Structure formats: C-alpha cells, structure tokens
Amino acid sequence: MLENACAGDKTGDRATAIRVLGLMPNDPRALKLAQGALKDERAEVRSAAAAALGDLKSRASIGGLRKALDDADPTVALAAAHSLELMDDNSAYEVYYEILSGQRKTGKGLIASHKSILSDPKKMTQLGFEEGIGFISFAGIGWGAIKTIAKDDSSPVRAAAAKVLARDPDPATTDALADATLDKSWLVRAAALEALAKRGDPSVLDTVKSSLSDDKDLVRYTAAATVLRLTAIKEARPAPGEKKGKTK
C-alpha cells in the first residue's frame, strides 16, 4: 500500500505516504523510498521526505538533507534543517539563523530570496506549524502566544528559530540573538532572551539588561532571569590572568 502511494500520481497521497515512513526505523525499504522522494518534483513530497529522514535518524542521508537546505521552496529547507538538527548536524542552524535575521551567515540563502513568502504572515505560520517543525513550547509562554498565532502573525516562526539557535555553537549567532531582543514582536524578544540565557555568554549582559524595562511582562521577567543566570556565570569565571584555586 505504502509503496503504491509513494509512486502514485496524487501529490497529497505521495506526501502523506512518504511522511509516515519515518515511523519505521531500521527498515531499508522505508529509507530508500524517503531518500528517493527528496528529488520529487513537488515541494510537498520533498518536505515530507526530509522530515521522514529526520525521524529515521538516517545519518547516511545527511548529504542529501544539506543539499535540501538550498531547495527553492522554504518548506523543504525548513524540514531539512529540522531533521539535520535532530541528528546534531550544525549546518541546520543556517536556516534558523536566516529565519531570525533575514539572511544567511554565508550571505546566500534561498529563503531570504523569497521575499513574498517571508512577508506573508499566513505562509510563515504555515511553515512553522503545518510542516511540523516542532517549534514553541506553549507551557513556557502561555495563552498570549496562542492569541498571537491566531492573528496569523509570523512572529511564532521567528521566535521558534531563536529558541533553536540557543544550541548553535557559532558566536555570530549570539549577535543575531542580541539584535532580536529589540525585535518589534514581544514573542521574538522573549525567545531571544531565553536563548541567550541558555547559551550562557555573559558578554551580552548589557544588552539583556536593557530589556528589564520592556513593556511586556514576559519579556521583563525573562530578561531578569537571564541577567541573574549570566551574572552567576560571569562571577563563577576567573578574571583574566587569575587561576582558580584548588579546593581543599
């Protein structure tokens, strides 16, 4: 049944059948079908294939997923990025960085070139939630986030990108997150602050402190917690030229 659907003429059937292949780890036929679908003519199918390969944790597919980061359709690039991140491949962060800042670190990026998509709130919301990128934890943000999403705002997708970038080891990402603390969306500002707290880099303390006077409670409280965390990290580090004493 699945093989017939994956080879069928209906795009919806192919995409659905390919997507569920991720439920079958260690199945060589499922892996082969998903890898082949990365080259499908329809973006919906390529996106499903990229997502399935992530669920399958197919490290043999990392090369193909990296190529998919430059797919002409942003939904495919996002699905590939999510799957690469699941396999701890840092190339995934290029796409999340681009979603947050509007450009790739390399100066290139097909997502940024699709201005009509990036500026379409409904499309951006679709990218984040229909494609199953698995973004924001509502437990930490609450009802206000749900109301924001209900407005078809693109901010949840950018906020989600900021949250993912907490794990990006590139120092350039610290600067992008610091800039995002001044974003017009309170959801993005809060997410950027949370990411900076998790990155644990005290060099952004002054930037974070400016958010203590934000007009949104969530942003102020997140900034306060971030200041405390980064200050503790800073105080625990020895001064330049100073060595930590041995514990007696």
Going by C-alpha positions, the residue among 213, 244, 216 that lies closest to residue 227 is 213
Phi-psi region of 139 (alpha: psi -120 to 50; beta: other; left: phi over 0): alpha
In a domain, residue 24? The reply is no
Give the total number of structural domains in the chain.
1
* Gap between the Cα atoms of 225 and 1, Å rounded: 52
pLDDT of residue 116: 41
123 inside domain: no
102 assigned to some structural domain: no
pLDDT exceeds cutoff 90 at 21: yes
- Between 100 and 112, name the one with better pLDDT: 100
Whether residue 168 lies inside any domain: the answer is: yes
The enclosing domain of 213 has a CATH number of: 1.25.10.10
Residue 84 within any structural domain of the chain:
no
pLDDT range class, residue 75, cuts 50, 70, 90: confident
- Residues 102-139: pLDDT tens digits? 777 765 555 545 544 455 555 555 554 443 344 444 33
Instruction: Note whether residue 165 is domain-resident.
Output: yes
Stretch 44-73: mean pLDDT: 92
Residue 166 belongs to domain spanning: 133-237
Residue 83: inside a domain: no
Of the listed ranges 13-27, 67-81, 150-164, the one predicted with least confidence: 150-164
Whole-prediction pTM value? Answer: 0.75
Q: Give residue for tokens 């206000």.
A: 144
Whether 213 is covered by a domain: the verdict is yes
